[in-house]
């Protein structure tokens, strides 16, 4: 055995004993310098290799390096112990680990999504199927099949985003009405919710991306009274059992006759007295509706002499503004957790 081994073992033992007694990083660094520093005990041993017998010198360097590696492991363990102790002390000082933890914050359904689901559930109970479609549609399904030819001035009112001369981001979910009627014979009863896009300037009442829900019913003997009953039922589902609806004559190329649909103001309950929501009228607009135009029925291969139908479209954000008494539509898309939490 090399004469260095007992000497290195003794240094390692004293280092371990000292390291076990160290309680802070500064003391540990002093210990490292004392034993492994440039003038430390191990360095003095290394300098004495030349005094060893020639036969022991080749292995002396390896013995010292192995001893240093073991000592550094002891110092690392002491450093980890000191760090854990500091963390435990910090936690005990700042956090009462025996105190009950606060409830975890949970997400919820966005108010726009909630309204869509409520409308869908309402009409599903009436026998309607919910259909979904692409947000990019050809002009044919968006306009032509809906009785809006290329030279019709109503196209300008949609302020559409065109991707190519024939493809555009849908400005309404009406293409799903055409696609469904082309694939199925009457009776047809569907609800078509989804995102729509129009080149509107963003302000307190408008967004360039919004959500719409359209309904369509086509069968024998369908009349305007059925439409009024369905929308009255929807209004009462969304705003309360005392809601009423009214229809104001309007024009849509794909329905005839056509109407704007209003419901009694949910804030003033229709009184209009100093109401900021309805401007004193007692009514708020929720969408448009009408009887499906005969040209649309013919386009999908239906005979207007045999079947008739109605269709409606409501803006979901517009309903949310009234239902939750929100004064700026942009708040619905700004992802403010504190604001959205109030609408749960």
Sequence-ordered list of residues with C-beta below 8 angstroms from that of 246, at least 6 positions apart, any chain:
261, 262, 263, 283
Give pLDDT tens digits for 115-140. Answer: 999 999 999 999 999 999 999 999 99
Confidence of residue 24 (pLDDT cuts 50, 70, 90): confident
Nearest to 173 by CA among 312, 18, 334, 327: 312
Rounded to whole angstroms, how far apart are CA atoms 84 and 25?
12
Please write the tens of the pLDDT for every residue from 216-273. 999 999 999 999 999 999 999 999 898 999 999 999 999 999 999 999 988 888 787 7
Q: Which pLDDT tens digit goes with each residue over 281-299?
A: 889 899 999 999 999 999 9
pLDDT digits (tens, 9 = 90+) for 56-86: 666 777 777 887 788 888 888 888 888 887 7
Nearest of 144, 132, 310 to residue 222 by alpha carbon: 310
What are the start-end ranges of the H helices in 50-191? Answer: 57-94, 111-124, 139-142, 175-183
- DSSP-based three-state secondary structure for 158: helix
38 has a pLDDT exceeding 90: no
- pLDDT at position 90 is 67
Q: CB of 173 within 8 A of CB of 192?
A: yes
Q: How far apart are CA 61 and CA 202, in angstroms?
A: 77
Mean pLDDT of the chain: 86
67 compared with 162, residue with greater pLDDT: 162
Does the 111-341 domain belong in CATH 3.30.930.10?
A: yes
Tokens of 78: 């002491």
Q: What angle do CA 241, 246, 250 make, to 5 degrees?
A: 145
Counting residues of the chain whose pLDDT is more than 70, the rounded percentage is 94
pLDDT at 187 over 70: yes
Domain residue extents for the chain: 4-94, 111-341
Taking 70 as the threshold, does the pLDDT of residue 1 lie above it? no
Band of pLDDT at residue 197, cut at 50, 70 and 90: very high
The mean pLDDT value for 311-316 works out to 95
Strands, E, within the chain: which ranges?
129-130, 136-138, 161-162, 167-169, 188-197, 209-219, 245-252, 255-264, 283-292, 308-315
Q: Measure CA 158 to chain center.
A: 27
- The pTM (predicted TM-score) of the whole model is 0.68
What's 105's DSSP letter? P
Q: What is the DSSP string of 172-216?
A: SSTHHHHHHHHHSPSPEEEEEEEEEE--PPPSSS--SEEEEEEEE
* The pair of three-digit structure tokens given for residue 31, joined into one six-digit string: 């210990």
Structural tokens at position 39:
């003038």
Token look-up 């209004």 returns: 235
Rounded Cα–Cα distance for residues 213 and 237 (Å)? 15
pLDDT reading at 202 higher than 80: yes
In angstroms, what CA-CA distances link 111 with 230, 288, 333?
22, 22, 10
């Amino acid at each position: 055995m090399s004469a260095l081994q007992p000497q290195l073992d003794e240094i390692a033992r004293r280092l371990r004993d000292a390291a076990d007694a160290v309680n802070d990083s500064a003391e540990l660094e002093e210990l490292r310098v004392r034993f492994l520093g440039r003038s430390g005990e191990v360095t003095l041993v290394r300098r004495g290799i030349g005094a060893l017998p020639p036969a022991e010198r080749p292995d002396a360097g390896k013995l010292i390096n192995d001893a240093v590696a073991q000592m550094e492991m002891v110092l690392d363990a002491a450093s980890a112990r000191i760090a854990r102790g500091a963390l435990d002390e910090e936690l005990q000082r700042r956090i009462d680990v025996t105190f009950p933890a606060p409830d975890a914050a949970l997400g919820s359904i966005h108010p726009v999504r909630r309204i869509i689901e409520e409308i869908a559930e309402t009409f599903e109970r009436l026998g309607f199927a919910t259909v979904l479609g692409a947000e990019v549609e050809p002009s044919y399904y968006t306009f032509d099949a809906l009785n809006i030819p290329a030279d019709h001035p109503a196209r300008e009112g949609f302020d559409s985003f065109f991707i190519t001369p024939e493809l555009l981001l849908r400005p309404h979910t009406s293409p799903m009405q055409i696609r469904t009627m082309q694939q199925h014979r009457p009776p047809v009863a569907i609800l078509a919710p989804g995102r729509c896009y129009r080149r509107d300037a963003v302000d307190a009442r408008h967004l360039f991306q919004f959500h719409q829900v359209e309904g369509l019913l086509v069968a024998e003997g369908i009349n305007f009274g059925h439409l009024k009953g369905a929308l009255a039922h929807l209004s009462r589902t969304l705003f309360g059992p005392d809601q009423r609806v009214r229809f104001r004559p309007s024009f849509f190329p794909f329905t005839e006759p056509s109407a704007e649909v209003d419901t009694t103001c949910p804030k003033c309950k229709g009184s209009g007295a100093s109401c900021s929501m309805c401007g004193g009228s007692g009514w708020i607009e929720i969408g448009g509706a009408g009887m499906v135009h005969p040209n649309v029925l013919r386009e999908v291969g239906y005979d207007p002499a045999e079947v008739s139908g109605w269709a409606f479209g409501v803006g979901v954000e517009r309903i949310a503004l009234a239902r939750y008494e929100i004064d700026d539509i942009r708040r619905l898309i700004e992802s403010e957790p504190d604001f959205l939490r109030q609408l749960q």
